[in-house]
Structure 1
Amino acid sequence: MRAFRGYTWLFLVVQAVVRVGRKYAVYLPRRVVEELKLREGEKLVLTLEGESIVLRRPTGFFEEARQPPKKLRMAPEEFEKTSVEAQEELLGPSDAQGAA
């Protein structure tokens, strides 16, 4: 969060032109990497929204789902509820109910 002349900014808006490199690699501007404190090898969730590509950190659900089963700290009921919430977030409420 940033304060600027009496306003609180919740999100930093950065627009930059990036080039698609070999093997379709896209390199993030240094300012973005530093602002988000990204580390090399960190995983991000990629979502296509129309003509836009959105990258974000995985939610708690995705982090828990990546753990081997013996390390899951979520009850099956809680996992199911979180799964439905994540589907609703990604697909919309009507599509997620049909998938469950």
Structure 2
Amino acid sequence: MVLSVKTKIGKRRVLVIPKKVAETLKIEEGSMVEITVKDDSLVVKPIRDAVWLSLYGKKFKHITFDELESESIEQQERYSKETQSTD
């Protein structure tokens, strides 16, 4: 999808992202973004955290609650062993 809008740079070089663009990208006040300069273009890309990805991101695999619990226990045991060995 291509969405192109024009906006103006405000005081202190503030770039206001138009509502339609923000809604399309699912970003809101406080969202983290990565800004890249490529040649004479500015690319603004949302940085997604784990919570956002779990709610809206592409699903890679279906996992049951039992599988999740088993993996959690395994990771906790591994972490516990690692922290005990450093004491």
TM-score relative to the length of structure 2: 0.51
Q: What's the counterpart of residue 53 of structure 2?
A: none
- CA distance, structure 1, for counterparts of residue 46 and residue 27 of structure 2: 9
Which structure would you say has the larger RCO, counting Cα contacts within 8 Å and 6 or more residues apart?
A: 2
Instruction: Give the paired residue count.
Output: 49
RMSD: 1.6
**CA deviation after TM superposition for structure 1 residue 59, in Å:** 6.5
Q: What are structure 2's unaligned runs of at least 5 residues?
A: 50-87
Q: What's the counterpart of residue 22 of structure 2?
A: 33
String of CA shifts for 1:52-94, please: whole Å, max 9, x gaps.
000112377xxxxxxxxxxxxxxxxxxxxxxxxxxxxxxxxxx
Matched, 1:13 2:2: yes
TM-score relative to the length of structure 1: 0.45
| Other structure's SS at 1:56 match | strand
Q: What's the counterpart of residue 94 of structure 1?
A: none
Matched residues, percent identical?
24
Q: How does 1:7-86 map to 2 (within 5 A)?
A: 12-58=1-47
- Structure number with bigger Rg: 2
Q: Which stretches of structure 1, 4 residues or longer, exceed 6 Å deviation after superposition?
A: none
| Other structure's SS at 2:24 match | helix
- CA distance, structure 1, for counterparts of residue 28 and residue 5 of structure 2: 20
Residue identity opposite 1:54 in structure 2: V
Q: What are structure 1's unaligned runs of at least 5 residues?
A: 1-11, 61-100
